[in-house]
Structure 1
Amino acid sequence: MHDQVIDAAGTSCPACEPADPLLRVPLPSVADLGTVAEARAAIDGLDAALAVLLERRAEVAALVQRLKPVGGFAGRNPDRERAIVDAMAERAPSLGRDRLARIMNAVIEAGLDAAER
């Protein structure tokens, strides 16, 4: 296993200064996992990081909803959502665009639901 900082290369975020804590996620090599217990431990670590990322994404998406003139489900932007999925498909080609579209649709809908509470 090795630590790698997940980097949003190519993005510009003035609020994301280096002073903000970096999320370090161990990205295990599948070849290094020899047992079910090791693989499950790796999944647990990835899931923990994913939960933090999803929560932060929902917080930022809620802010977007407050800033847009039309928010919530009525304010969904299919072009923006396609661009998100396309960018993710470039980073994770083995998942494929269709799978990523389904995943991101669920993430976006859950985030919108959370923002309405």
Structure 2
Amino acid sequence: MHDQVIEPGEPGAGCPACAPSGELRVALPDAEAITTLGEARAAIDGIDAVLAELLEHRAAVAAVVQRLKPVGGFAGRDPGREREIVEAMAARAPSLGAGRLAPIVNAIIEAGLDAAASRR
């Protein structure tokens, strides 16, 4: 395992990996070191837990964006910005690439917009 440091700002409530400084420290499993199905599933469960914390935090920040934009919600989507997000993520996840990441990013954005609308 090796640690990755992600700085999302305010840590999520109850996030076990969040440091008081707002850094998110995650020990990522070395996929090559996993030898059993149980280890693989446990690693995925841990990664999914951190993804959930990050998605919750992203949705909260996206809700702020919706309040700040002159046109919010689905009507205020910016396809250029969304392409930039996909390309930046693809640079960090080259095995997934932009084509596989685009529908994931779209789903995250739509879920965040829907959550922001339900907060009003």
AA matched with 1:29:
D
Give the CA deviation at 1:57.
0.2
Q: Tell me if structure 1 keeps the 8 A contact 2:73–2:117.
A: yes
**CA–CA separation in structure 2 for the residues paired with 1:29 and 1:7:** 21
Report percent identity of matched pairs: 67
Give the superposed CA RMSD: 1.8
For structure 1, the 5+ residue unaligned runs are: 9-14
Give the CA deviation at 1:67.
0.4
Structure 1 residue ranges, 4+ long, deviating more than 3 angstroms after superposition = none
SS in 2 for 1:59: helix
Q: Tell me if structure 2 keeps the 8 A contact 1:3–1:27.
A: yes
**CA–CA separation in structure 2 for the residues paired with 1:19 and 1:51:** 19
- Aligned match of 1:4: 4
- Give me the TM-score of the superposition, normalised by structure 2: 0.85
Question: Which structure 2 residues correspond to residues 36-115 of structure 1 after superposition, within 5 A?
Answer: 36-115=37-116
Superimposed CA distance per residue, residues 2-59 of structure 1 (whole angstroms, 9 cap, x where no aligned partner): 2221368xxxxxx67x963211112111111000110011001100100000000000
Q: How many residue pairs align between the two structures?
A: 110
For structure 2, the 5+ residue unaligned runs are: 11-18
- Aligned match of 1:12: none
**CA–CA separation in structure 2 for the residues paired with 1:116 and 1:86:** 27
